Amino acid sequence: MKNLWVEFFGGIVTVKTKGKGIERFINTLTRSGIHVWQVKRHGIEAVTFKMKLKDVKQLRTLVRNSDCRIEFLQRTGLPFVYKRMLKNIGFVIGAPLFLIVILILSNMVWGIEIKGADPATEYKIRKELDEIGVKRGKLQFFLDNVEAIQRKLTDNVKEITWVGVELKGTTYHFQVVEKTEPEKPEYLTPRNLVAKKKAVIVDMFVEEGQPKVSVNDHVKPGQLLVSGIIGEDGQKTKTVPAKGEIFGETWYKTDATVSLKSTFQVFNGNEKQKHFLRIGSLSLPIWGFGKVEFKESETEIYEKKIRFLKWELPISYIHQTTREREQVTRIYSNEEAFEAAKIMARNDIKNRLSENAKIKGEKVLHKSVENGKVTISIHFQIIENIAEAQPIIQGDTE
């Protein structure tokens, strides 16, 4: 059976033939290499058939030498569609352009709504949004996702505690929680302050309660520092929640080990970016062609759904970034390794201490090089708050 789709691209005409000797005329066409199909008789002296557009010129030559007349009834196929399109070129160009414009407008930012913020905070939020590119008229494809926008606003606008970000259609909605609520006063039961570790007192700030130690005193774990029972001897006493900070010099010992030779992965700055249009499960590359030839790499993919008016289409824009990684070998000298170990030990101590603690001094107790590794042992002198609360049980006395 003839593949009519192939013939469609070349063009098909329907011909009506009248006259005497029609059968002889059709046989002549066939012998001349002109393919005809769907031959139908209409009465005694009329036949219709279909043929290829490219054979029409040869048909005209053959019909002059016969007693038949031809009439073209119908023209179908791509060449005729193309001619009709040229006659309606304005519509042909305008309709796709209209759809493209609507598609672009449906994926732009047209509104930014902020709720829960006072005018001053809202101004700062809008200013920060301008800095990160979230503004009216911007294409959503080139903006961060809502999680990244939320993180940047929370980090950079100090007046807010939390912000919810939601994208509905072409509008970003921000729900803000400000740092406006006053801190609720802490209710404390009667208590003492005792030492939580061995230390030498270097400074004291007692807000409430009776101090029981002085600067330069040596204290042991559990020793009373500030009593919550106040009043002169022999007079009526009362219990209060002791409050204050007792700073003491404490001591820590930590060990750190650093290899003289270490291997790790780093990004070297080379990257390849590709852009795709995903329709269902099919991905069509639109920019950034060619194979990524990195030996080792890490790929980051950002996907943005495309909308048409209020509907989300099964089409996505995908931005793929592939960064090359390479293996780097770092070799320390003995002294460089010792310095790196010191830094590691300091960081370890800082992670174990509270924010208001500080390092007063340090002393290297031991260092060695063995099996390609440097090991160091350091003694640290730390100034920190050593007080912790201990409830006063009824019946306690000083």
pLDDT for residue 398: 46
Does any domain span residue 105?
no
Does some domain include residue 104? Answer: no
Claim to verify: residue 247 and residue 356 sit in the same structural domain? yes
Asked if residue 162 and residue 203 are part of one domain, the reply reads: no
Q: Say if residue 395's pLDDT is above 60.
A: no
The per-residue pLDDT for range 244-301, each reduced to its tens digit, is 999 999 999 999 999 999 888 888 888 998 988 888 888 888 888 888 888 888 888 8
Give buried/exposed letters for 37-72 (b at 16+ CB in 10 A, else e). eeeeeeeeeebbbbbbbebbeebeebbeebebebee
Q: Within this chain, do residues 172 and 191 fall inside the same structural domain, yes or no?
A: no
- Residue 213: the pLDDT is 93
The mean pLDDT of the chain is 86
Q: What mean pLDDT is predicted for residues 314-324?
A: 88
CATH code, 67: 3.30.70.120
* Together in a domain, 362 and 251: yes
Same domain, 215 and 345: yes
Q: What pLDDT score was predicted for residue 63?
A: 85
pLDDT digits (tens, 9 = 90+) for 18-35: 888 888 888 888 888 888
pLDDT of amino acid 185:
65
* Residue 142 shares a structural domain with residue 75: no
The values of phi and psi at residue 363, to 5°, are -145, 130
Looking at the structure, tell me whether residues 132 and 267 fall in a common domain.
Answer: no
Is there a domain that residue 277 lies in? yes
Q: Domain boundary residue among 292, 312, 328?
A: 328
Same domain assignment for residues 31 and 160? no
What is the spatial distance between Cα 63 and Cα 46, in angstroms, rounded to a whole number?
14
If pLDDT is split at 50, 70 and 90, which confidence band does 238 have? confident
Q: Domain residues for 377?
A: 185-260+332-398
Task: Assess if residue 303 is contained within a domain.
Answer: yes
Q: Point out the domain boundary residue: 63, 82, 101.
A: 82
pLDDT, tens only, 62-117: 888 887 888 888 888 888 888 888 877 777 788 888 888 888 888 888 889 999 88
10 and 143 fall within a common domain: no
Residue at 98 is within a domain: no
Tally of structural domains, the chain: 4
**Separation CA 214–CA 326 (nearest Å):** 59
Same domain, 302 and 315: yes
What pTM does this model have?
0.50
The reply to whether 94 falls in a domain is: no
- In terms of domains, do 246 and 280 share one? no
Q: Which residue is listed with tokens 């774990």?
A: 221
Question: Over the stretch 347-371, which tens digit does the pLDDT of each residue have?
Answer: 999 988 888 899 999 999 999 999 8
307 occurs within a structural domain? yes
Where residue 134 sits, what CATH number does that domain have?
3.10.20.310
The total number of residues written for the chain in this structure: 398
Assigned domain for 361 exists: yes
User: Is pLDDT of 382 > 60?
Assistant: yes
Residues 6 or more apart whose CB falls under 8 angstroms from that of 13 comprise 50, 51, 52, 53, 56, 72, 74, 75, 76
Of 136, 163, 178, at which residue does a domain stop? 178
174 neighbors 168 (Cβ within 8 angstroms) = no
One domain for residues 271 and 322: yes
